[in-house]
Structure formats: structure tokens, C-alpha cells
Amino acid sequence: MVFRILQRQNAAKFAVSPFYFKNSSRVHAQAFSTGAKFAARTDRLAIRRPITDRSRYAYSIHTAAGKELSEKCSLFWKSRRWRRIAAAVAVSLGIGTYTVCNYDTAYLVAASMYRSSIAAKATFKVAWDYYLNFPDLPDEGDESTSPEECQRILEARSAVHLRAAEVVKQALMKNGGIYIKLGQHLSAMQYVLPAEWCSTMQALQDKNTASSVEELDLVIQKDLGKSISELFSEFDPKPIGVASLAQVHRAVLRSDGQEVAVKVQHPMVRTYSDIDIATVSVMLEFVHSVFPEFQFMWLGTEMRESLPQELDFRTDKSNAEQVGWNFSRHADIPLTVPRMLRATERVLVMEFVRGQRCDDLNYLRKHGISPASVSREIGRIFAEMIFVHGFLHCDPHPGNLFVRPRNPAETTHGYNFDLVLLDHGLYRRLPSRFRYEYAEMWRALMRGDKKQIVYWSHKLSGTDLYHLFSTILTGQTWETIESKSLTAATGPAQLDFSSMRTKQPDLVRQITEVLASVPPVLRLVLKTNDLLRMVDQKLFADQPPSVQQHAQMLSWLRTSHYCLVAICDARASDIKHSQSRRGILQTTTRITRLLTNWFSFWLYDSALSVYSLVLYLSMASTRLAFLWSRLFGL
């Protein structure tokens, strides 16, 4: 302001009037007190000297003390020290003020940074371990490497896999929530990940940290408007099950005394979801930049699409009601879907159904339940979902499939058990065109028709790696498929992908390329298939290989039946639509085509039924022989 005043004055007045300058010391003191204290008193003649600056004119007073202080000030302001001090003070004041005014947000930021640092540390540690200690396999035909050296290399690679998987598992368990969900997904990717990774991650199916009852009470009060004691006359503090996103408690309603299961979301899962998904995506991008052959960025995209549905329990309720209605017409299928009573975003109250995990072999033996029957009915249920209903439960791990003992005389299906389907948060609707193409692909695989396999594989996956896509889909080698032996009990019950990766170093890159190219809905179908295979492996863990092979073949035949159903329905729909579009087909022609379509289905399905009966009897005789040998030591 002082400079503006000086500029407004007449320049000649400053030049000819020493009296003005002598009596203007107060003005100079105000103008230069912050940077030049020497202007407190001006007894000498001040010389007006224009200096080129941002202002039109600037003025300074030249004295020895003034020059010295001016130089010091100039050096200080030109240095970076004052900027660092000012920045530190500003940041400290800003953080302090923001924390006081927005404590919850500040806590969220700090917690998110901590969780992200755990994920980043694990990612860097694993990447560094692989970079330094993971040996390359010798080239095929390289005779310079001895068998002992090859074995040492394989052991070193396995050790790195185990260390890396354990580091990642500990990080996922420490963060919990969505990270546990990611680990569960990785445990099913046996065709991509080494066996050491899959076996390590399978522990995450059960190891989830439970929230306290006090924390759950806050969630219930916020969502339902009442506390636990007001809503329930009994509330078991020990959870029945703890999952990655929620946990379930047994309770009794105070209103009518009904026994219920209460599913409550972990308090901070929704809060951390966005930052956790972003962190996972960044970490996957980093892994891809270090190891370009790993193309798993779609995992982050899939989580971003699926998680909002799983975090809203109202979606869980509507999905359960839909799947219950779909199977209400199938009295011969032993499926029970708990009745949903009340749902909010984070709290779900449902009918309480007693039972145990489907892979608990001791529980099955105790109640006289056949693991083979459990496996067969699980396969039927999910084949119905995929090929007929087009409404698929995409998370069928053993914790979501319970077995409840029943008296066969009291049931319509004739079995001594019910299958209880839980956790209805993750479903996908399969379009009719997709179901038809998927059924045609399976039909071609069953026949070993290479031409049709190539065609439908490209239609479904958009890739030319048909042999690899077929292997992922069936879990069998291409040689088994091409030799038309898929429905013959000759091959292994489950393909060993670890040995394949050892023999084909480029296999992982090709598999990730296939998974990155397929549509998202097909990836979820493949994931569902993998989880169902894992359930079958556990159900037949104590059975001889021949029984496992027969069970696998029966599974293929059951799939073939539902493929025929889907194809027959699609063709019948095309016949009806062609009639409505053109209007030139006579009624008799239309009826003839429909009858031909139905007869073709009946003919093939009858052949499958006969073959299934033969395999079933063969499996029964093999099991009897196995039991006889164990009883009498033969």
C-alpha cells in the first residue's frame, strides 16, 4: 500500500524536498519493517533509486547496516530452508485442524494407508523373492543338467512358491474382508497357480476373524433401529460361521419365539471396500509390470463389479427367493434354501437350518449319508442352474453347501439328506444364447469332435487356443478329449496342472491370455466349475482312484444330459420364433419339426441313461470290492 501511495505522489516532490523525506521516516518504517529494520529512523538523505521489479517502481535506502541485513534476507529467501519450514508448519497445522474437525475421516485415511502398506509390502517382498531366488527350468533336451540338478531346481522353485504364498496369506489375513475374498478366489485357480499357492490359500476358506458382539450390536442398531436385546430373546455370542464379509449367529426372535440365523456384516468392510479394491488393482498392475506373463488385472475389475452386490444383503434375500422358486418345481432334487425373513444392507434374518459342511466325511458317515449321492445331487443342482434356469450361484465352496440329515419317508426326493444352499450374494444371469453355445461346446467335448470344439471354443472364449480352453473347462488333457475318452473311465479323475506347468513353461502365459480374453460371465462359470471339482475331490478323498474315475464319468454324463436339454429348448424356441417371424410355415410342418427335435433329444438322452446305469453299477461293484479288501485285508 505504501508503494501505491508513493507512486501517486509527484516524482519532483520527492527529488527537491529533503524536508519531506526527513519527516517521512514513519512511512519508511511501515514500508520496510518486515525486511529492513534499519529504516526505523532516517537521518540521512535518502536517495530515490528506481529498481526494475514486478511493481512499476521500487525504492530502497542504502546504508551499511541496511546492505548487510538486506543481503542476509536475500540469501534466506533464496534458500529452500524457509520453504521447507513453511511447508512443514502448514502441513502440520492442516493435519491437526482436519483431524480435530473430521476425526472419523482422518481415522479412515490412516487405516486405509496402513492396510495399503501391508498389501504393498507383501507384494514387493514376493516380487523380490521371485526375482532373486526363482531358478529357471532347464531347456528341454538339455543333457548338461543332471537329474539331481533338475530335482534341486524343482525343490528351489517349490520353496519360493511356498514362501511367497505364505507371505501373501498372512497379509490377506491381517487385512481381512475383501482380501480374504481374494484369497478364496485364488485357491480355486488350480490351472493357473502352483499347487503350493492353492493349498496355502485354501486355509482362507475357514480362517476369518470374527467381529465382537458389541460391534455387531452397533451395526444392528443402525440398520434395524433396535439393539440385539430388544430384537432377540436369545443371541448366541459364538458365531456359527465367520466369512470374509459377514458372520452368522443363532438367535431366537423376541416377537414370536422363532429360531433364526442372523447374518451381520463386519463393521468396517463397506468402509474399506473402495480403497481395498483400488489397492488390489494397483498391486495387480505392479505384478504385471514385473512379470508381464501374469495378466490378472481382470480380478480387480471382477471384484469391483461383484462386491457391491455381495455387500447389500437385500440382494442376498432376492436371490435366495429366486433360486428357491426355480427349484420349487423339482420335488426330486434334495435342495433346501433357507426362508428369508428380513433384510437390510448389512443385516439378514433367515430361517435357521441345522446341518454341517458337505465335505465333512465323518459327519456323513455318522448319519449314513453317501458322499457319492451328495456329489451327484450337487452336480445336478448346478447343472440345472447353468443350462436350464440361467441363474447361477457363483460361490459354491464347501462352507456354502451344508448337508442336513433327513428321514427318507418324510421327503419327496427319497434321499436321507437335504442340501442346504447358503450365501446368495454372488449370482449371475446367463443369457439364453450363452447357455446354448456353452451346451454345444460341452456336447462337442463329449463327442471329441475337433471341428466343433474349435468353432464353439472361438465363439465362447474369443481365442484360438481351443485345446487349452478345453483343458481348463474339463480338467482333462487334450489327448483325452481328442481321443473321445472323456466319457470313458480311462483317464485321471483330475488333471495335474502342476506337472503340466513344469513340462510347458509357457503354459501360464497362455492360460492367463485365455482368462483375460473370455467374457466375465464365462470366467465366473469356470470359477464355479473349479469350486465344484474341489468339492468332489474332498468327497472322494478316501475312495480308490477307480471310484473317483467312475464318479467323474457319471458327472460328464449328467452334464451331457443337461446340455441336450439346453440345446433342445433353444432349437424349440428357434422353431417358434421362425413361425412368428415369417408366418409361412404351416402348422403341420412346425409340429413335425418340434416332434423331431424332441425325439432326437429322447434318443440321445436314453442312450446316456443306459450308459450312466452301467457306470453306476460298475462303480458300486468297485466300491464293494474295495470295502471287501479293506475288511479282510486282501
pLDDT of residue 25: 44
Q: What is the pLDDT of residues 157-177, one digit of tens each?
A: 889 889 998 998 998 888 888
Residues 6+ apart with CB under 8 A from 90: none
φ, ψ of residue 472 to 5 degrees: the values are -65, -40
Strands (DSSP E) found in 254-390: 259-265, 335-336, 340-343, 347-351, 356-357
Distances (CA, A) of 557 to 229, 329, 435, 491, 518: 52, 23, 18, 15, 25
Query: pTM for the full model?
Result: 0.73
User: Contact, 266 vs 176, CB < 8 A?
Assistant: yes
pLDDT recorded at residue 67? 62
**564: exposed, middle or buried (Cβ count in 10 Å: 0-12, 13-18, 19+):** buried
Q: Residue 87: what pLDDT?
A: 62
**Catalytic hit among 223, 395, 418, 536:** 395
All three cell numbers of 407:
428321514
Element (H, E) at 615: helix 587-632
Predicted pLDDT at 3:
39
pLDDT at 477: 80
pLDDT of residue 47: 43
The dihedral region occupied by 423, where left means phi > 0, alpha psi between -120 and 50, and beta the remainder, is left
pLDDT at 244: 84
Residue 280: the pLDDT is 80
Tally Cβ neighbours within 10 Å of residue 569: 18
Nearest to 355 by CA among 420, 258, 423, 260: 420
Residue keyed to cell 481381512: 176
Low-confidence residues in the chain, pLDDT < 50: 1-61, 95, 98-100, 102-103, 489, 491-493, 581, 585, 633-634
Query: How far is 242 from 602, CA to CA, in rounded Å?
Result: 46
- pLDDT digit string (tens) for 405-420? 998 888 888 889 999 9
Catalytic residue flag (residue 395) = yes
d(CA 239, CA 152): 46
